A = this chain, B = another copy of it.
């Protein structure tokens, strides 16, 4: 939204909005940026960027090393606090650990933000580096099991938005055609879980279940791994069981979530015929 303000040149940005833009410049793989790079990435005027970077260093939100800036300790602290105070993450944590211990694979907790999933938690062994996810990281929703699990039990408008933004091929297996993607979501609604067969990364397979009561999904839990496709069917009910436990620990077993859960329940979805399902599976590069 602040980006729009800059482009339209309508409302001048507040110092806080400028600071947010400067900090967003660090959202890339390179941890260190020079003033020029921050100016380039943020679109802020150089003099303004310089003054703001100075202030951010003063606050400990950035650190300065020679001519380079990087995110600072204070930002790490505030973010860790945000994570610690995140109610969903706190409720899910013991169940995510249990799921990791019973499956032996990497476990994620994600929420949908626009057309992307954001990783709130990641529980894995030290050698789970083959799946390049990280807490606070983002992925497009359409090519992840988590994203599909949330979208399948979400708002139709969200699905439309995801499709409008385009289903870009990340791997040869990414579902890039809207009709296949919609069928995939219907299938996820029927099964209660969604899969990712190397649709984001080569070799990486995932299964995810939506976190929900009787209404829309508010998050998803997934289990991912390199070459775990043979295990996904066995793991799927464990992931679904995990989300039920998380839901219960947040809202209690029988109680309605009282304003926490989106009010509108999903209309029942007509079950796809098995023939249709098989035909699009064959026509895609799944089989």
Contacts and interface: CB of A to CB of B under 8 A. Distances in A.
Interface of A: 1-2, 14-17, 19-20, 23, 26-27, 31, 52, 55-56, 58-59, 61, 70-87, 93-94, 97-98, 101, 111, 113, 118, 120, 125-126, 134-138
B80 A78 contact: no
Contacts of A19: 16, 19
Contacts of A126: 93-94, 97-98, 101
Given A16-B55, A71-B85, A137 B94 contact: no
A77 B26 contact: no
Nearest to A80: B136
A219 to B, nearest CB: 12
Contacts of A87: 31, 70
Given A75-B78, A97-B125, 11 more contacts: A15-B15, A16-B55, A20-B59, A26-B85, A71-B85, A76-B136, A77-B79, A78-B79, A79-B81, A79-B83, A80-B135
A215 to B, nearest CB: 18
A242 to B, nearest CB: 13
A75 B79 contact: yes
A20 B60 CA distance: 10
A111 B16 contact: no
A262 to B, nearest CB: 15
A2 B60 CA distance: 12
A77 B24 CA distance: 10
A31 B85 contact: yes
A79 to B, nearest CB: 1
Q: What 5 pairs across the A-B complex have the smallest Cβ distances?
A: A79-B79, A80-B136, A97-B126, A31-B85, A71-B82
A107 B98 CA distance: 20
A34 B82 CA distance: 16
B1 A77 contact: no
22 contacts: A15-B15, A16-B55, A16-B59, A17-B55, A19-B19, A23-B78, A26-B81, A31-B85, A71-B86, A73-B82, A75-B79, A76-B82, A76-B136, A77-B79, A78-B78, A79-B81, A79-B83, A79-B136, A80-B134, A80-B135, A84-B136, A93-B126
Given A70-B85, A80-B79, A86-B76, A16 B17 contact: no
A91 B180 CA distance: 43
Contacts of A138: 77
A111 B56 CA distance: 20
B83 A80 contact: yes
B136 A77 contact: yes
A55 B19 CA distance: 12
Contact of A77 (B58, B84, B118): B118
